[in-house]
Amino acid sequence: MPVVWLSTSWPLGVQFNGLRFIMIRVVSTLAKGVFGAASVIGAGLLAVPMLIAPNAAHAVTVGVAVDGVGSDTTVGSTEFRAALGGNAVRYFIPLKPAGTPPDPCVFGVSCGTSADTGSGGRKMEMYLRFSPVQSSVPSNMIINFEDLDLIGANDPSGFLESIQIFDSGGVPITDLIENITNSFVSGDANTIQTAQIPLGIVSDPFYVRFDFLASSGFYGKNTPEFLIAEVHPVLLPAALPLFGTGLGLMGLFGWWRRRRVTEAAVATEAAVA
């Protein structure tokens, strides 16, 4: 009977095209039989893709607030939030104090770092920079908000907030998110709201713009809110073609083995004749 074992003579961890593989050496040896000698049929490689980023720094990239697209100048401040599990961007959505122009303001540059009063209506743009990011595989962005006052989530009577997300060129990648029932949003409607957004292939560094807007039926004072935004590479689509290649190699090895066995049988029949 064939004897099959796993050899540890090769390194278990091998990296190829940004993915980690486990290499398994499979050797099949036929025991002595009618031919009177051992016949080594062959050896194959089975590459099993492990959905692990080769570098932990590339596995998840946390966005930092900057003063605009193309900039690496950080703005605002962060605060550790146990509910979010890390250091989060701390921001205030403007309530348009009396005399403030209605045009948009930029977080950390002209608004959003301290409390104000009013009834809402002024848009605040927040720019986030992500680097390093994987630019060879698709990515998703996951944003966890604490106390985002969407309809159905934390909203006090008469006070609502909304957000829309754009790429670095100003093209929307979400619709206007006003309600906890929005297809991009899930999570705890009372404390944490989570937005999950497919990005496709992104460049490094990667920038996004968040547009925040608050509206209130009364004159009031705002309170701080918090968010953590992360870009996650999606490794599975990149792994599948490589896995298919590995299966193809195993099929080729099987064909070669059958051919060798057939050739040996033909040679034996000719010798007997």
What the chain holds in terms of domains, given with CATH numbers, is 3-52+237-272 (no CATH), 56-234 (2.60.120)
The runs of H, that is alpha helices, within the chain are: 56-59, 236-272
The answer to whether the CB of 127 falls within 8 A of the CB of 147 is: no
Position 90, amino acid: R
Cis peptide before 172 (omega within 30 of 0): no
Return the pLDDT at 262: 65
Tokens linked to 191: 């404390």
Q: What percent of the chain has pLDDT over 70?
A: 62
DSSP H or E segment with residue 40: strand 39-50
For the chain, which ranges sit under pLDDT 70? Answer: 1-58, 154-158, 188-189, 236-273
- The pTM assigned to this predicted structure is 0.66
Interacting residues of 267 by C-beta distance below 8 A, sequence separation 6+: none
Return the pLDDT at 157: 66
Angle ∠(186,187,191) on CA atoms, nearest 5: 130
Return the pLDDT at 219: 84
DSSP H or E segment with residue 14: strand 13-16
Return the closest-CA partner of residue 108 out of 122, 87, 94: 94
Return the closest-CA partner of residue 110 out of 162, 147, 75: 75
In tens, the pLDDT along 183-211 reads 888 876 677 889 999 999 999 999 999 99
Return the pLDDT at 256: 63
What's the rounded Cα separation, in Å, for the pair 218 and 154?
A: 17
